[in-house]
Amino acid sequence: MDWEAAEDSSLPMREFPFAVAATRRYADRPGAVEASFGAGGAYVDAVAALRTGQMRALDVSDDVFELAFHACWLEHAFNERNTTAPGDSAPFRAIVQHLALTHRG
C-alpha cells in the first residue's frame, strides 16, 4: 500500500485495486490490472471473489467500488506525475490511459 499517501478518511476499498496490482512484485502494474480486472483476465475470478467478500463486509455497493477503483488509479497517477522526471516509467498513468480507452460507457 502507499502508506505515505494514506488518509484518515477515504472511499472504502480505494486501495484494493492497488494491492491487487502488487502481484508479481510490481513487475507489470498495467498487466496486473488487466489480468485482475480486465475481461478474460487470468485472475478475474479470484479477484472478484475477494472483492465481493470485502464489499459485503464493508457494505459497499458496486457503484461505490467502481468510483473507488478509478479514484485509486487517478490518485496514484497524479502522485506519479508529481514525483517522477520526464522519461521515467509511468505505470499508473499507463493504467489510467488504458482504462480510459477500454472502459468507455
Count of the separate structural domains present in the chain: 1
Domain-located, residue 96: yes
Max distance between CA atoms of the chain, in angstroms, equals 42
Better pLDDT: 59 or 3? 59
5 located within any domain: no
The predicted pLDDT at position 7 comes to 60
| C-alpha 51 chain-centroid distance | 12
In a domain, 47, yes or no: yes
DSSP state of 102: H
What pLDDT does 102 receive? 82
Classify residue 91: in a domain, yes or no.
yes
49 and 75 Cβ atoms separated by less than 8 Å: no
pTM (2 decimals)?
A: 0.83
Which residue range(s) make up the domain with 73?
10-102
Q: Is 4 within the bounds of a domain?
A: no
